[in-house]
């Protein structure tokens, strides 16, 4: 089968022919329909705190059709997605398919799909998943939207951890896929104002489709003044969805007294802040990582009931052969939001 292989920092992904995976006991083989390119994939292939090993097949935001099943109750032809958490070798040696401590993605030994040669991801024609992590796609949800469950679950988890309440004034910094998901779920949670600060015009405008009530262009406006002008005061909750140095300190400066800051963006380098600025406001800072399987179930239910529509965030669908060039282009995005990769042939795309 064809797969995109990471060969080293500074090198584009390589499309190679590799052996097709075979289903392990309790496992499923999916024919990948779509797989999203995540910002974490970009981080993991450049210098920083975490770099994947050469030989890794990336891709953890996928949706596909079962073509081989060795798990009871799962049938060939079913459309599924899968939480990319895999039990560590210690748990597997004990016969477990999930973390014995119920830590999920927080387990320090967790093997995340697409971040190790041991667990290849969805930038390939086929991918192996454990049935314990698989979820069926509802019949009225497209496989294209099924590939957005992962980033939507990140946004849902962040909003839950931010304890967004009815009537809250929310500021979302960053209008990428995660920021858009946060906007949607903050509105569903009852926030009265959800204002997005984002440099890229296409991302700002797209946030309106997800429920944003106000927009800020930080290249033209001072964020605190612009937010107060729209809302009438400082934000109760701030979601930092960018992940660059100095932004956490800026969030503290922007926050209302006793405000809540949720750090969703992944800053891969050392940062600095002045704790006293947060102490004077009694600011609560919540770091978040990923999601749990219940988050995925809720996202799928909302997709099925039309409670959320991810379609506006999908700016392009590319073939596997186009992936290396498009992957590198995303390091300096120029209007893209969510790119999906599909190994399917043109006539098979849905």
21 within 8 A of 132, measured Cβ to Cβ: no
Share the mean pLDDT of the chain. Answer: 93
* Closest of 239, 296, 261, 285 to residue 105, by C-alpha: 296
Least confident stretch, 202-211, 262-271, 277-286: 262-271
Q: What is the structure's pLDDT at 144? A: 96
At 160-169, the pLDDT tens digits run: 999 999 999 9
Quote the CA–CA distance of 75 and 217 in Å, as a whole number.
49
Distance CA 290, CA 38 (A): 12
Q: What is the per-residue pLDDT for 268?
A: 85
Instruction: Judge if pTM exceeds 0.85.
Output: yes
pLDDT-derived band of residue 140, with 50, 70 and 90 as boundaries?
very high
By C-alpha distance, which of 232, 227, 224 is closest to 215?
Answer: 227
Domain boundaries, the chain: 2-148+310-348, 152-287
Q: For position 346, what pLDDT does the model report? A: 62
- Report the C-alpha gap between 149 and 226 in whole angstroms: 32
Report the percent of the chain where pLDDT is more than 70. 95
Burial of 50 (0-12, 13-18, 19+ CB in 10 A): exposed
The contacts of residue 166 (CB under 8 Å, 6+ apart) are 189, 190, 191, 192
Q: Tally the residues of the chain.
A: 350
Class of the CATH domain delimited by 152-287: alpha beta
Q: Pick 32 or 333 by higher pLDDT.
A: 32
What is the band of 49 on the pLDDT scale with cuts at 50, 70, 90? confident
The residue among 272, 295, 275, 298 whose CA lies nearest residue 285 is 275
pLDDT at residue 105 in the model: 80
Average the pLDDT over each of 91-95, 173-177, 334-338 and give the range with the smallest value. 91-95
The answer to whether 209 touches 187, Cβ cutoff 8 Å, is: no
Q: Residue 92: its pLDDT value, please?
A: 64
Mean pLDDT of 278-286: 97
The structure tokens listed for 186 are 């903050």
Residues 331-346, mean pLDDT to the nearest whole number: 87
- Top-tier CATH class for 2-148+310-348: alpha beta
pLDDT value at residue 184: 98
Would you state the torsion angle of the CA atoms of residues 259, 262, 267, 272, taken in this order, to the nearest 10 degrees? 20
Residue 110 has pLDDT above 90, yes or no: no
Choose between 134 and 89: higher pLDDT.
Answer: 134
Give per-residue pLDDT as tens, 212-266.
999 999 999 999 999 999 999 999 999 999 999 999 999 999 999 999 999 999 9
Whole-number pLDDT of residue 96: 63
Mean pLDDT of 73-91: 88
């Amino acid at each position: 089968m064809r797969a995109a292989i990471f060969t080293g920092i500074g090198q584009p992904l390589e499309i190679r022919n590799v052996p097709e995976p075979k289903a392990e006991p309790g496992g499923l083989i999916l024919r990948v329909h779509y797989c999203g390119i995540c910002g974490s994939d970009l981080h993991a292939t450049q210098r920083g705190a975490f770099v994947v090993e050469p030989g890794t097949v990336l891709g953890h935001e996928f949706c596909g059709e079962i073509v081989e099943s060795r798990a009871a109750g799962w049938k060939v032809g079913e459309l599924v997605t899968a939480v990319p958490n895999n039990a560590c070798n210690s748990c597997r040696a004990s016969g477990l398919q999930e973390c014995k401590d119920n830590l999920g993605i927080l387990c320090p030994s967790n093997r995340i799909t697409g971040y190790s040669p041991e667990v290849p991801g969805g930038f390939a024609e086929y991918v192996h998943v454990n049935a314990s992590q698989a979820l069926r796609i509802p019949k009225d949800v497209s496989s294209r939207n099924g590939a957005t469950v992962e980033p939507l679950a990140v946004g849902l988890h962040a909003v839950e951890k931010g304890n967004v309440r009815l009537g809250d004034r929310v500021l979302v910094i960053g209008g990428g896929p995660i920021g858009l998901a946060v906007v949607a779920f903050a509105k569903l949670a009852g926030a009265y104002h959800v204002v997005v600060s984002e440099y890229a015009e296409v991302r700002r405008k797209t946030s309106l489709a997800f429920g944003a009530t106000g927009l800020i262009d930080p290249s033209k406006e001072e964020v605190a003044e612009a937010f107060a002008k729209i809302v009438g005061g400082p934000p109760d909750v701030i979601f930092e969805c960018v992940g660059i140095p100095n932004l956490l300190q800026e969030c503290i400066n922007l926050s209302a007294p006793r405000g809540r800051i949720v750090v969703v963006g992944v800053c891969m380098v050392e940062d600095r802040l002045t704790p006293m600025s947060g102490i004077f406001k009694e600011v609560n800072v919540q770091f978040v990582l990923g999601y749990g399987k219940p988050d995925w179930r809720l996202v799928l239910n909302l997709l099925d009931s039309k409670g959320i529509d991810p379609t506006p965030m999908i700016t392009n669908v590319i073939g596997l052969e186009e992936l290396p060039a498009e992957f590198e282009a995303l390091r300096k995005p120029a209007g893209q939001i969510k790119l999906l990769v599909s190994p399917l042939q043109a006539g098979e795309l849905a």
